[in-house]
Chain A
Amino acid sequence: MPILSVITFFPLAGAVLLLALPRGRGKAVKLAANVVTGLEFAATLLLLRGFDPGTAEMQFVERAPWIKSAGIQYLLGIDGISLLLVLLTSLLTFLATLSSWKAVAHRLKEYYVFLLLLEVGMIGVFVSLDLILFYVFWEVMLVPMYFLIGIWGGERKLYAAIKFFLYTLFGSVMMLIGILVVRGHYGTFDWTAMTGAGTFLPAALQGWVFLAFALGFAIKVPMFPFHTWLPDAHVEAPTAGSVILAGVLLKMGTYGFVRFSLPLFPEASRKFAPLMIGLALTAIVYGALVSLMQKDMKKLVAYSSVSHMGFVMLGLFAFTPLAIKGAVLQMINHGISTGALFLIVGVLYERRHTRLIADFGGLSSRMPVYAAVFLIMAMSSIGLPGLNGFIGEFMILMGVFPVNWIWTAVAGLGIVLGAGYMLWLYQRVMFGRLDNPANASLADLSAREFATFFPLLVLVFWIGIFPKPFLAVIDQPVEKIVRIVHPEKEAAAVGAGPAEVR
């Protein structure tokens, strides 16, 4: 069975099903959407059966000619890195759908159709190995997100929606030109053939093409100074949109770097690494400082993403196996903890229709379960040992340290600041006196709401305590990338593998 095609297009079939439902059947639409995304998650879990973690090769490969005259193929396949991201996508989409049950009240059918179309684009991005096919999914995903922000978003939704769309489109069209130049060299859009060819673009051209790709990916990550769309989009989007934006969409940028930029343009990657790391360190500190200043909870979480994604970029461009593994794991961790934090903010917004930190205080007495969940997720975001964030950040810092200890020190400063803004947020919202009468009657998490957090809580502890299964699947693919992009680092790291953190 072509399982990758099935998981890619199953949500599309679900969207068609939703369109076929008669008007005015709100509950049926909601139920169908939840069933579809739930089944989709179950289907992606099937990938674990038959996935071989012992190889860096692409698995479940599906290959068919698509546009013969242009040499474009329908080529799907996954390795350990994409496997984790596909699982993250299907899980977060399911949880985002579940969290929308009460939060979205009008134009239900359209909402869930866009959500499902979004999932098609996201899964497609992580499983495509033909560059044009990848580009198609990359762009397809923009449209439903534009409508999700623009129709169901907050006050400044129209501005945020078009800003998101324009920014990301601008980056991706430059990537398209880069893709065409790459094809000029290799004569194919097939990623497996390119990485197997053993040749690379000539150095001068490679630099330009790297920059063209990097623009597309950097806007998505978003790297400083391309991050300005992020606070608008994340804040104005409905909760489910923010969860998916932060949890999955940002990962597409870092995924693009690790899947395409590093192995296809190794020379340019090394050449531009100081620039990328400089920007990553700037993002870590700047994002954290701006987070400290926020009055709006959602905006705080949004800016914290800028900081956390800086960590991922730092790990990727350190080129040591440990740092890159940490970066890939941190992509998953950030999806879990920031996704959860947006859900947490969404819970309060649904009840009080405000996100201002000053409107809250002392909630822990009213909502003990909520307080516990919030605390765990905040700690996960800070990187408390025993929780998932620690493993990722620690591996990145460990991997970066032998390359340049100053980078590690600056990143460490980011962690301290991160603890600052998160704990301060928690303190202001959850502790203190409950002096706002509007908060006196707040209800704790309902069973449905708790259900949306439960899988994330499990993952937070699982990755924090026993990350081995997650690291095992990314081990070989990362080693392969390091072999291509920086052979010396790979040799140096033999024997000094990630044993320390196991």
Chain B
Amino acid sequence: MGLALAPEIAVLAAAVAAIFVHLFGKERGGRAAGAVALAGISAALPALILAGRSGGQFFAGSFTLDGFAVFFKAVVLSGGLLAIAFSFRYFRHEGTEPGEAYDLILLAIVGMMFAVSATDLVAAYVAFETFAIPSYILTGFCRRDKRSPEAAVKYFFLGTLSSGIMLLGMALVFGLTGETNFAAIGRILNGAGEPLALTGMILFFAGLFFKAALVPFHMWAPDVYEGAPVPIAVFLSTAPKAAVFALLIRVAAGLFGRFEAQWTGLFQVLALATMFWGNLAALLQRNIKRMMAYSSIAHAGYIAIGLAAWGGPGRTAVMFYLFVYVFMNAAAFGLVLLWTKGSGFGEEVSDLRGLARMSPLAAASLVFVLLSLTGIPPTAGFMGKYLLFQAAVGRKLYLLAAAGALNSAISLFYYFRIGRAMFMEERPSDSAAARPSPSVVAVLALCALILLILGVLPHLVSDWASAATFLNP
């Protein structure tokens, strides 16, 4: 059992260590805390492999370690790793190294790792809040920028409201069944007809939809991703989304299997609304962070196609897409850190003008990331969309698949505004000829490489995902 929790313990230990390191480390403490965080996550990944070998249920069935959980823990850890890698650059430029940022990221990761394993209402809620509360604080970390605290307040109010709604749904479910364990609830709900259970399900899901930023529960996302410090936006737009979709799949399959016809219909509607709204709104943006915020909303819509298709292929597609999404979305937000502008970073599309001349490697990597976001081969993003659309077509959801395809064509228009700026427009001569940050270029190139490898050899991850879709509620 100790081994089963080893990854969580590694991250938690790193979080505690980071607190002390930056408390006692004086001015270099923040940097040291970051190193501790990086070490903690790096240790958690091999621990996860070891833990995955055992598996089973713990804490009276409230914590399940199955292939599904292991897969999502790996996704969450990858998101955390990328966020911390970008943090070094960001906070060095900001001048302050707030060590507590690293503690909070680690704590949020622990919460997510528990959330993807939760098979009990109480455990799920506690895990959910464990990653929600650090997220609110992290959003407001950039006190210099007025948008940051404003976003934090907005996020906090809407977030707690949605948590409350979710809790209400959980309470209904508990009241109907008298159980908190997913498996036990599933047995009772699937046996007897209980119309109120549908209300419980909708309230429960609403909380999750909010965190996944599905339209019409997305209002907070553009403001939060734009206002939050860049590495935090990287973090918030990737890891929690994976955790929330994992919980959604577990809950939908385990608790509300009886309502499959209802919720697959619901996901179809949400997928359509989210894709179109996200992509059309992104067309209007000039600020990269805001554009990518809408883009990440649209991607949640693509993922919802997989949920609407459901079945083994649908879940495999969702899992593969989330894995890939972490790398392409992290790169899409992280690219803002390439160049500084004034006291901050160049956030406008026009700030990337002439990048192809300054750093061909960075520009080529970014083009690759943009192709992946659009869904053009030979990238992992294409393979992800292929799996999603294939799952939908397999369920005869032809129009949904066609809508997804149409959306990827729409998204090309705004993604390649960035491509155009990098390759086809000249850098104005009056702007500083600063070189793009080498560390950021390295991370972007790494993301592009992963997207290329998974674009050519997608089965490295899709076979893993497909083996892990078997749920063990």
| A interface residue numbers (CB < 8 A to B) | 67-70, 110, 132, 135-136, 139-140, 142-143, 146-147, 150-151, 157-158, 161-162, 165-166, 169-170, 173-174, 176-177, 180-181, 183-184, 208, 212
Contacts and interface: CB of A to CB of B under 8 A. Distances in A.
Contacts of A110: 356, 360
Interface stretch (B262-270, B271-279, B400-408): B400-408
B394 interface: yes
A140 B378 CA distance: 7
A161 B412 CA distance: 12
Nearest to A208: B398
A177 B401 contact: yes
B423 A143 contact: no
B155 interface: no
Contacts, number: 91
A184 B376 contact: no
A151 B393 contact: no
Nearest to A149: B424
Contacts of A157: 424
A158 B409 contact: no
Interface stretch (B123-131, B201-209, B235-243, B457-465): B457-465
Given A158-B420, A165-B416, A176 B405 contact: yes
A154 B288 CA distance: 28
B225 interface: no
The secondary structure that dominates the A interface is helix
A147 B423 contact: yes
Contacts of B367: 143
A183 B393 CA distance: 10
B24 interface: no
How big is chain B's contact interface, by range?
35 or more
A143 B405 contact: no
Nearest to B363: A110
A170 B412 CA distance: 10
Given A139-B377, A158-B424, A177-B389, A169 B412 contact: yes
B371 interface: yes
Contacts of B389: 176-177, 180
B376 A143 contact: yes
Given A70-B459, A147-B424, 6 more contacts: A136-B382, A142-B376, A166-B413, A170-B409, A180-B386, A212-B402
A177 B393 contact: yes
B87 interface: no
Nearest to A171: B409
A150 B423 contact: yes
B135 interface: no
B377 A184 contact: no
Nearest to A150: B424
B401 A180 contact: yes
B466 interface: yes
- 4 interchain residue pairs of minimum CB distance: A173-B405, A136-B377, A180-B393, A170-B409
B139 interface: no
13 contacts: A67-B457, A67-B458, A70-B459, A70-B462, A158-B420, A162-B416, A169-B412, A173-B409, A177-B402, A180-B390, A180-B401, A181-B393, A183-B390
A151 to B, nearest CB: 6
A363 B4 CA distance: 84
B444 to A, nearest CB: 18
Contact of A162 (B420, B423, B459): B420
A180 B458 CA distance: 17
A162 B413 contact: yes
Contacts of B420: 150, 158, 161-162
A177 B360 CA distance: 34
B378 A136 contact: yes
A158 B457 CA distance: 34
Nearest to A19: B360
A68 B376 CA distance: 21
Contacts of A140: 376-378
Contacts of B409: 166, 169-170, 173
With a 10 A CB-CB cut-off, give which of A140, A169, A212 has the most chain B CB atoms: A169
Contacts of B462: 67, 69-70
A173 B377 contact: no
A177 B394 CA distance: 11
With a 10 A CB-CB cut-off, give which of A70, A110, A165, A166 has the most chain B CB atoms: A70
Contacts of A139: 376-377, 382
A183 B398 CA distance: 13
Interface string B434-473: 0000000000000000000000011100110010000000
Interface string B352-393: 000010001000000100010011111000100011011001
Contact of A143 (B371, B390, B401, B463): B371
A183 B387 CA distance: 13
With a 10 A CB-CB cut-off, give which of A142, A177, A212 has the most chain B CB atoms: A177
B22 to A, nearest CB: 43
A488 B462 CA distance: 47
A174 B405 contact: yes
Contact of B459 (A69, A151, A173): A69
A98 B125 CA distance: 67
Given A68-B459, A139-B377, A177 B412 contact: no
A327 to B, nearest CB: 29
A161 B416 CA distance: 10
Contact of A184 (B394, B419, B458): B394
Contact of A165 (B375, B393, B412, B424): B412
Contacts of A142: 376
Interface string B306-318: 0000000000000
B390 A70 contact: yes
Contact of B412 (A67, A70, A166, A181): A166
A10 to B, nearest CB: 17
A132 B386 contact: yes
B313 to A, nearest CB: 9
A305 B385 CA distance: 34
Nearest to B401: A177
A161 B424 contact: yes
With a 10 A CB-CB cut-off, give which of B398, B406, B408 has the most chain A CB atoms: B398
Contacts of B376: 139-140, 142-143, 169
A69 B405 contact: no
Contact of A135 (B374, B377, B393, B416): B377
Interface string B169-195: 000000000000000000000000000
A139 B374 CA distance: 12
Interface string B284-322: 000000000000000000000000000000000000000
A180 B382 CA distance: 14
A108 B187 CA distance: 68
B413 A151 contact: no
Contacts of A150: 420, 423-424
A184 B393 contact: yes
Contacts of A174: 402, 405-406
Contacts of B405: 173-174, 176-177
